Amino acid sequence: MRRPKPLPPELGDSFHIAQADATGVRRWRRDHRALERPFPGIRSTSAPETFRARVDCYAPRLRAQQCFTGRTAARLWGLPLPWRWHPDEPVEVVVPSDGAPPAVEGVRGCRLGVRRRAASLVDGLPVLDPVPTLFTLAASLTLTEAVVLVDAIITTSVNYPSLDGRCPPADIEGIRAALLRWGRFPGVATIRTALGFAREGVESPKETETRLMIVRAGMPEPVVQHVIRSRGRRLARVDLAYIAERIAIEYEGDHHRTDRAQWGEDIRRQRELEEAGWLVIRLTQHDLGAGRATFIARLRRALASRS
């Protein structure tokens, strides 16, 4: 059996056969059985077993004016989706309204008119911008999931996990303007309603979920990311706060438990807030699920005692 020669380094880990032909790679080499064939016309040095590997393998198939959309686009932007990635999740691609969507196994294609299509490069890949991506996902989102995504898209915080400051700036008015351009589409009512609940400055999906849970329970809406000062010194910026009642609400992700330094910092911060007269109510994922009623009852008592 003929031993395969090394491939030109400019081809990378995955490439289109046309790229191989253009670099002078012989047909037997680019079709060697040692190479994977994740998509028609694509060769890869290894099986794509991660989300990014799947996207990178498909990228050489993209034609002019095509880009990634839907869940694929949202994951590339780092937006918080309610679904974990699974190898069976199709790569989603949008083509111009007069184009033919790809009919390839493992790929979902759709058409989008030029007035609706706005894309940017993410790590060199053409990706539908966050706002139109939100609209393409709208039909599959609950109201809470839609608010979480809008909060992430419009956040002015640099600390939102997974975003890394990559998303183009957007605000509520910009999303409303985009809704006017798009007109009717599946899920538009969900997005319109979500805009009324969205807030700037949010720093995590769980912060959004906590705020919505409180409002739906009939309690006043707490302030997002409130900075607490005492005697001219900044003590903390808390996730949610009732300022007049001096109640701070903090969501604790698992890293608050597993990171010893973070745990110590949390305890120090809580002590200082309590010494300044604040009541600190901490909650976890359990309180957003099975423990919801208990948390809501506790918050009601706290508000009643401090009103």
- Range 253-273 average pLDDT: 73
Between these two residues, 181 and 256, which has the higher pLDDT value? Answer: 181
* Amino acid at site 168: P
pTM for this prediction:
0.91
DSSP secondary structure string, the chain? -PPPPPPPGGG-SEEEHHHHHHTT--HHHHT-TTSB-SSTTEEESS---SHHHHHHHHGGG--TT-EE-HHHHHHHHT---SS---TTSPEEEEEETTS-----TTEEEEEE-TTT--EEEETTEEEE-HHHHHHHHGGG--HHHHHHHHHHHH---S--TTTTT-SPP--HHHHHHHHHHH-S-TTHHHHHHHHHH--TT---HHHHHHHHHHHHTTPPPPEEEEEEEETTEEEEEEEEEETTTTEEEEE--THHHH-HHHHHHHHHHHHHHHHTT-EEEEE-HHHHTTTHHHHHHHHHHHHHHH-
- Range 278-304 average pLDDT: 97
pLDDT at 142: 98
Q: Does residue 277 carry a pLDDT above 90?
A: yes
Q: Does residue 257 carry a pLDDT above 60?
A: no
Q: Which residue has the tokens 């109201």?
A: 143
Whether the CB-CB separation of 154 and 175 falls below 8 Å is answered with yes
Cα 8 from Cα 80, distance rounded (Å): 37
With b for 16 or more beta-carbon neighbours within 10 A and e for fewer, the 113-147 pattern comes to eeebbbbbebeebbbbbbbbbbbbbbebbeebbbb
The token pair at 40 is 């028609």
- Range 70-85 average pLDDT: 97
pLDDT at 258: 54
Q: Read off the pLDDT of residues 34-72 as tens digits, 9 standing for 90 and up.
A: 899 999 999 999 999 999 999 999 999 999 999 999 999
Residue 268: which pLDDT band, with cuts at 50, 70 and 90?
confident
Q: Read off the pLDDT of residues 182-224 as tens digits, 9 standing for 90 and up.
A: 999 999 999 999 999 999 999 999 999 999 999 999 999 999 9
Which range, 53-57, 98-102, 264-268, is most confident?
53-57
The token pair at 215 is 């409002």
Nearest-CA neighbor of 51 among 62, 41, 61, 38? 38
Nearest-CA neighbor of 243 among 261, 225, 259? 225
Q: Does residue 255 carry a pLDDT above 70?
A: no
- Which conformational region is residue 243 in: left (phi greater than 0), alpha (psi within -120 to 50 degrees), or beta? alpha
Residue 259: which pLDDT band, with cuts at 50, 70 and 90?
low
Between these two residues, 284 and 260, which has the higher pLDDT value? Answer: 284
Average pLDDT, the chain: 93
pLDDT at 307: 82
pLDDT at 135: 98
pLDDT at 261: 66
Q: Read off the pLDDT of residues 215-231 as tens digits, 9 standing for 90 and up.
A: 999 999 999 999 999 88
pLDDT at 6: 86
Q: Does residue 263 carry a pLDDT above 80?
A: no
Helix-helix angle 143-154:130-137, to 10 degrees: 180
* Amino acid at site 219: M
Residue 269: which pLDDT band, with cuts at 50, 70 and 90?
confident
Cα 260 from Cα 49, distance rounded (Å): 33
